Amino acid sequence: MKWLEITAHFTDEIKEPLLVHLLDLGIQGVIEEESAYRFYLNEDTDPQTIFTGQFGEVPFSAEVVDDANWAENWKQFWHANKIGKFVVVPSWESYEKQGAEIVLNLDPGMAFGTGAHETTALVLEFLGEVPVVPETVYDIGCGSGILAIAAAKLGAEVYAFDTDPLAVDATLKNAEKNHVEGLIKVFGGNLLEDESLFPDKVPDLVLTNIIAEVIVEFVPLLKEKLGTFTWIVSGIISERLPMVLGALEEHGFTVTKRKDRGEWVALEAKI
């Protein structure tokens, strides 16, 4: 299969808004380079359609690459990364575990989630700080499976969900790579549109690393379906934080912790 590799250049003024726009469009695996984002689209996509007038003219280049070239490009930008008690190690590197570290061996495929982005790192930090290992965890928007695998390596039973078939496939493969496939069940589909996807088992902890608007949509649904639980949410750019806080407060959630990194915010909330 071939992909269209896009390199879009940004100024400081549009850096964060442009990234949010790309994530809003469901574009996965965005790599940040110096003053540019690199990402991948289906070969037949017109890249002009992804840029809107709000950013002015965004200079970009496009090149058709195959899967092998895409994988090779990842290797240039992603290396072992320690995040709290976890160390995320790409499949093409070896790493010697130190002390009580928990190693996550990962191959992102075409799915978002390497731990390199602030939003994922913040959730891993929260997860590594939980005082009691949860019995059951939902990972909504699992991407590469990084958060689901981290929870499973703590000893939790995990139900992972994603609307993207590539993410479902990546999570299954990465679970096997980390020898936790018996602890992770993966579901393809949209919980907001198909409530039959909800398992019978109610979670103690929910992990959600998606954009702020979708988090807000999930607030009343998760309250209704799950009752009492702890929710770690990330993917919130700071300017959209009031919207998320308002929705959580309206539906009875209490924010118990907050972490900030750059323009991004992650929250722990309980109900």
- Output 82 or 92, whichever has higher pLDDT: 82
Find where tokens 């907001």 sit: 192
Checking if the pLDDT of 83 tops 60, the result is yes
Checking if the pLDDT of 185 tops 60, the result is yes
What's the pLDDT tens digit per position in 114-145?
A: 556 788 889 999 998 888 889 999 999 888 88
Q: Tell me, what DSSP letter sits at residue 203?
A: P
Q: In what order do the strands lie in the sheet with 102-106?
A: 81-83, 86-90, 102-106
Report helix angle 165-177 to 146-154, nearest 10. Answer: 40
**Whole-number pLDDT of residue 24:** 63
CA within 13 Å, CB half, 112:
30
- Output 5 or 54, whichever has higher pLDDT: 5
Checking if the pLDDT of 54 tops 80, the result is no
Report helix angle 118-128 to 146-154, nearest 10. Answer: 10
Percent of the chain whose predicted confidence (pLDDT) is above 70: 87
Domains of the chain, start order: 2-75 (3.30.70), 78-270 (3.40.50.150)
**Whole-number pLDDT of residue 77:** 64
How far apart, in Å, do the first and last CA atoms of the chain sit? 45
Alpha-carbon distance 61 to 69, whole Å?
Answer: 16
- Output 18 or 159, whichever has higher pLDDT: 159
Mean pLDDT of 66-73: 61
Q: What value does the mean pLDDT of the chain take? A: 84
Q: For residue 111, name the pLDDT band (cuts at 50, 70, 90).
A: very low
Strand stretches in the chain, DSSP E: 2-9, 31-33, 36-42, 60-66, 81-83, 86-90, 102-106, 136-140, 157-162, 184-188, 205-209, 230-237, 254-261, 264-270
Alpha-carbon distance 249 to 27, whole Å?
Answer: 30
